[in-house]
């Protein structure tokens, strides 16, 4: 049984999609060992508790430096012997030490088609740029922000009448589909890194719901 630790900062809808996929048997051989938030008011904590998942809050404001926070976070996560650490709307820049410690078992979801629009306000920036396709990316985390080998992406059309709310809702629906998919591949040992790229064994587009 593989242990997954999920880090959140807020609403936690991606965490919820992952928990629901596990409960539905769509991710075999894994369990959520813990959900950790850096804010006590993270909305997703209540959902995790209602689903019998251990939760913890580590407030970054209680630490003097980014390094001190990340060291405490690592100790907390490692207490759950994680096979995979999942960033699900965890809005903290992580130190190189943290990223190196979990290299190859730390993944993130970002609300854009990377390498376009790394960073914040991705939907507003996509609208401003006038792109016709936007989307979401699940990737391994490396030291560079919103970078690292891409595991799966989903694209959505951008309509002329879209605003930030309508576009982000269309992207979020896809996030909830591709994050559980990526995790099921990871847990099944189907993702390998070749020349800095993530390859998925026996992936057939359209055949697994993506
Ligand atoms: C999601 O859209 C996720 O892609 C984004 O934050 C949102 C969290 O929503 N993450 C980032 O912007 C990371 N750079 P959620 O809390 O409902 O899952």
Q: Is 190 annotated as a binding residue?
A: no
121 in catalytic set: no
Which of these is catalytic: 51, 101, 110, 121?
110
Residue 108 CA neighbour count, 13 Å, CB half: 27
Q: How far is the CA of 95 from the centre of ligand 1 (A)?
A: 19
pLDDT of residue 207: 65
pLDDT of residue 203: 76
9, 11, 14, 117: residue to mutate for ligand 1 pocket, most atoms within 8 A of CB: 14
CB 36 within 8 A of CB 58: yes
Question: Hey, is 41 helix, strand or coil?
Answer: coil
State how far the Cα of 104 lies from the Cα of 116, in Å rounded to an integer. Answer: 22
Phi/psi at 63 (5° precision): -115, 145
Q: How far is the CA of 119 from the centre of ligand 1 (A)?
A: 11
Between helix 164-187 and helix 122-129 the angle, nearest 10°, is 120
Q: How far is the CA of 190 from the centre of ligand 1 (A)?
A: 25
Q: What is the pLDDT along the chain (210 residues), one digit of tens a residue?
A: 999 999 999 999 999 999 999 999 999 999 999 999 999 999 999 999 999 999 999 999 999 999 999 999 999 999 999 999 999 999 999 999 999 999 999 999 999 999 999 999 999 999 999 999 999 999 999 999 899 999 999 999 999 999 999 999 999 999 999 999 999 999 999 999 888 999 999 877 666 655
Cis peptide before 88 (omega within 30 of 0): no
Phi/psi at 107 (5° precision): -125, 160
pLDDT of residue 202: 80
37, 48, 109, 148: residue to mutate for ligand 1 pocket, most atoms within 8 A of CB: 109
pLDDT of residue 210: 56
Q: How far is the CA of 117 from the centre of ligand 1 (A)?
A: 14
Query: Which residues approach ligand 1 with their CB closer than 6 A?
Result: 8, 10-14, 88-89, 109-111, 146, 172, 175
């Amino acid at each position: 049984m593989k242990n997954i630790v999920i880090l959140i900062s807020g609403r936690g809808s991606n965490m919820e999609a992952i928990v629901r996929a596990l409960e539905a048997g769509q991710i075999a051989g894994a369990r959520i060992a813990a959900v950790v938030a850096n804010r006590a008011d993270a909305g997703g904590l209540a959902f995790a508790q209602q689903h019998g998942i251990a939760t913890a809050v580590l407030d970054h404001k209680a630490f003097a430096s980014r390094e001190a926070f990340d060291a405490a976070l690592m100790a907390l996560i490692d207490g759950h012997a994680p096979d995979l650490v999942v960033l699900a709307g965890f809005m903290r820049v992580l130190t190189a030490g943290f990223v190196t410690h979990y290299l190859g078992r730390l993944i993130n979801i970002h609300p854009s088609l990377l390498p376009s629009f790394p960073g914040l306000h991705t939907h507003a920036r996509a609208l401003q740029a006038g792109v016709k396709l936007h989307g979401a990316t699940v990737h391994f985390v490396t030291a560079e922000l919103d970078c690292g080998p891409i595991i799966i992406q989903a694209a959505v059309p951008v309509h002329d009448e879209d605003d930030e709310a309508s576009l982000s809702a269309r992207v979020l629906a896809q996030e909830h589909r591709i994050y559980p998919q990526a995790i099921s591949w990871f847990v099944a040992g189907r993702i390998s890194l070749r020349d800095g790229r993530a390859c998925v064994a026996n992936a057939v587009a359209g055949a697994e719901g993506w």
